[in-house]
Amino acid sequence: MALKYEPNIVLSTKEYDVVGTRPIRHDGTDKVTGAAKYGADFYMSGLLFGKVLRSPHAHARIKSIDTSKAEALEGVRAVVTAEDLPSITAEGSFKAGELTVDLKYLRDGVLASDKVLYRGHPVAGVAAVNVHVAEEALGLIEVDYEVLPSVMTAPEAMKDDAPLIIEDLETEELGEKTGKLSNVADHSQHTLGDVEKGFAEADEIIEREFNTETVHQGYIEPHNFTTNWNKDGRLHVWLSTQGPFDIRNSMAEVLGLGISDVKVTPMEIGGGFGAKFSVFGGPVAALLSKKTGHPVKIVNTRTEEFESATPTSGCYIRVKLGATKEGKVTAAQAYLAYEAGAYPGSPVGAGATCVFAPYDIENQVVDAYDVVVNKPKTGAYRAPGSPNANFAAESVMDEMAERLGIDPLELRLLNASKEGVRRSDGVRHPRIGCIEVLEAMRDHPHYSAPLEGPNTGRGVAIGYWMNGGGESSINITVHPDGRINLIEGSADIGGTRTSIAMMAAEVLGIPAEAVLPAVVDTDSIGYTSGTGGSSVTYKAGVAVSLAAQDVKNKLIERAAMIWGVDISSVEAERGVFQSKEDPELRMTFKELAAQLNDTGGPITGGASLNAAGAAGAFAGAIADVQVDPETGKTTVLRFTLVQDAGKAIHPSYVEGQMQGGVVQGIGWALNEEYFMGTDGKMDNSTFLDYRMPLALDLPMIDTVIVEVPNPAHPFGVRGVGEVCITPPPAAMANAIHGALGVRMRDLPMKPAVVMGALWGKGE
Partner 1 sequence: MATVFIPSLMRSMTGGLDTVDVEGSTVREIVNHLDALYPGMKDRLMDKFRIKPSISVAVDGEVTPLGILEKVGEDSEVHFLPAIGGGSVEAG
Using CB under 8 A, which of 378, 496, 626, 664 touches partner 1?
378
Helix extents (H) in 201-321? 244-255, 282-292, 302-308
Per CB under 8 A, does 27 bind partner 1?
no
What is the rounded CA–CA span in Å between residue 129 and residue 296?
10
Q: How far is the CB of 630 from partner 1 (least distance, A)?
A: 40
With respect to partner 1, which residue has the nearer C-beta, 188 or 415? Answer: 188
Among 123, 124, 315, 350, binds partner 1 (CB under 8 A): 350
380: contact with partner 1 by CB under 8 A: yes
557 binds partner 1 (CB under 8 A): no
Q: Given the complex with partner 1, which of 99 and 355 has the nearer CB atom? A: 99
Answer yes or no whether residue 186 interacts with partner 1 by CB under 8 A.
yes
Q: Which of 266, 322, 379, 729 contacts partner 1 by CB under 8 A? A: 379
Q: Is 533 in the site for partner 1 (CB under 8 A)?
A: yes
CA neighbours within 13 Å on the CB side: how many for 393? 32
Least distance in Å: CB of 174 to partner 1? 5
- How far apart are alpha carbons 514 and 84 in whole angstroms? 50
**Binding of residue 242 to partner 1 (CB under 8 A):** yes
Q: Residue 347 CB, nearest distance to partner 1 (Å)?
A: 4
349 or 729: CB nearest partner 1: 349
User: Mask: binding to partner 1, 72-111, rule CB under 8 A, as x and -?
Assistant: ---------------------x-x-xxxx-----------
The answer to whether residues 412 and 436 touch, using CB atoms and an 8 Å cutoff, is no
- Given a contact cutoff of 8 angstroms between Cβ atoms, the answer to whether 622 and 639 are in contact is yes
Exactly one of 106, 466, 507, 739 binds partner 1 (CB under 8 A); that residue is 466
Distance between CA 110 and CA 247 in Å, rounded? 13
Question: What is the phi/psi pair of residue 439, to 5°?
Answer: -65, -40
CA 578 to centroid of chain Cα atoms:
45
| Residue 459 lies near partner 1 (rule: CB under 8 A) | no
Nearer to partner 1, 34 or 175 (CB): 175
- Cα maximum dimension of the chain: 89
One-letter amino acid at 147 equals V
Amino acid at 574: R
Cβ atoms 297, 225 nearer than 8 A: yes
* 530 binds partner 1 per the rule CB under 8 A: yes
Residue 314 touches partner 1, criterion: CB under 8 A: no
Quick check: 307 binds partner 1 (CB under 8 A)?
Answer: no
Bridge pairing between strands 115-116 and 122-128: unpaired
Q: Pick between residue 527 and residue 687 the one whose CB is nearest to partner 1.
A: 527
Q: Does 243 bind partner 1 (CB under 8 A)?
A: yes
In the complex, minimum distance from the CB of residue 300 to partner 1, in angstroms, rounded to a whole number: 21
Stretch that binds partner 1, among 14-22, 201-209, 404-412, 467-475 (CB under 8 A): 467-475
How far apart, in whole angstroms, are the C-alpha atoms of residue 286 and residue 235? 8
- Strand pairing of 235-239 and 262-266? parallel
Answer yes or no whether residue 728 interacts with partner 1 by CB under 8 A: no
Residue 274's nearest CA partner among 165, 362, 368, 350 is: 350
CB of 204 to partner 1, least distance (A): 26
CA pair distance 120, 150, nearest whole angstrom: 14
Contact of 308 with 319, CB cutoff 8 Å: no
Q: Which amino acid is it at 754? A: V
**With CB under 8 A as the contact rule, which of the stretches 42-50, 167-175, 636-644, 703-711 interacts with partner 1?**
167-175
Among 46, 426, 453, 711, binds partner 1 (CB under 8 A): 426
Q: Pick the closest to residue 224 from 295, 301, 293, 294 (CA basis).
A: 301
Contact by Cβ (8 Å): 169, 181? yes
The site for partner 1 (CB under 8 A) is made up of: 93, 95, 97-100, 172-176, 186-191, 242-243, 246, 274, 277, 313, 338, 340, 344-350, 352-353, 368, 370, 378-381, 383-385, 425-430, 466, 468-471, 529-535, 610, 612-613, 722
